[in-house]
Structure 1
Amino acid sequence: MTLHEGDAPILDPASAEWISVLTAAGPDREAGLVRLHGLLIRVAVHELHRRAASSAVVGVELDDVAHQCAADAMLAILDKLDTFRGESRFTTWAYKFVVLEVSSKLGRHYWHRHPTTVLETEDWERLPDAFGVDPGEHAERADLVKAVQRAVEETLTDHQRRLFTAIVVNGVPLDAVVSQLGLNRNAVYKAVFDARRKIRVFLVANGYLDERRPGQ
């Protein structure tokens, strides 16, 4: 949808209803706020559960963080309500605020729990089996680790190397890296994905992996 300056956005009925109640006054607006807050909490809980394996936020703490995320997202949504132009459904637009809050809070949570972690520190012995290799299948695991180190040095950019080392080698959660470096979450994910692909190509070319083996 292309809007010219001064044009009013053309909204789908559900989005128009949301905007109507949230810009109203009195009981209608209060009911809309309660409804929106409930939706945002459910999204926050879902997103936190989805990332639970890397965040270690569970139980009562997860519920508390979900409510914080929902509350902060709601304030941001109401503050930016007049910027909603209807390119997507209102709920889709609103949910993005929750996801951003979840990422931000999980990142801060990690650094609060692990204040001494250094992103540049390399602990190759903790290298996960990120390329579909069972350590028991490879007689010389040390050789494989050295091969990955060589691939990292020879095939990755400095940016990819830093992110791969932090996230894959040292196991720092993606959200924590995003928080620490002030980067875009999707850009970090893509950089690590591209790094893993380059390393896998190197390992296959040098006989450390079977190219037919599923990899990441």
Structure 2
Amino acid sequence: MVRFENVGLRYGMGAEILRDLSFVIAPQSFQFLTGPSGAGKTTLLRLILLALRPTRGLITLFGEDSATLDKSALMALRRKVGVVFQDFRLLDHLTTYQNVALPLRVLGKEEPSYRAEVLELLEWVGLGQRLHAHPQVLSGGEKQRAAIARALIMRPELLLADEPTGNVDPVMARRLLRLFQELHKSGTSVVIATHDLNLMDQFDGARRLVLGDGRLHIYD
């Protein structure tokens, strides 16, 4: 699903901030991406999404060489990826319901075909009573949950989540983790970037990708 071969990244003429990254994310796999603050976890997620181009090395996404993709092919691949960003990226002029449904609307789907699914997902993440609220009046935790619901509504083949439980209480964090587990069981590959050891300890057998000093260490 994802393959990195000797990937390095630098900005300008500076030293490489990530170097010699070689790993594979297999279909239907579950892994945590961890490491100290500033290690480059968000940067690595952006490389996986192809929102950043590597300075060197090869990145393959769904079997396609990223270096050869034109814009339309790149957009088609990204539609297979769900992303939960740390800054949420909700649209202020849309309600919670509209934000979550937006990826389906962009694909041209009519509301009757997806309304029940969006409502069910919002209930699951605890936003069933916030359908008509705009992001400006949502708490940080509510925005986080709306962003997660939006990423999941497309049933992605690959989910990238950047600190997805960082703004929610422990009870909701466990509930969201169950949602990620169910998504994984249904066939989605999941990559969760986090520094929360307690969170990772709840997933027996999950692979850990540990970033440090620009390099990646893998613990199966």
User: How does the TM-score come out when normalised to structure 1?
Assistant: 0.27
Q: Which has the higher contact order (CA 8 A, sep 6+)?
A: 2
Q: Which has the higher helix share?
A: 1
Larger strand proportion, structure 1 or 2?
2
What TM-score, normalized by structure 2, do the two folds share?
0.27
Which structure is larger by alpha-carbon Rg, 1 or 2? 1
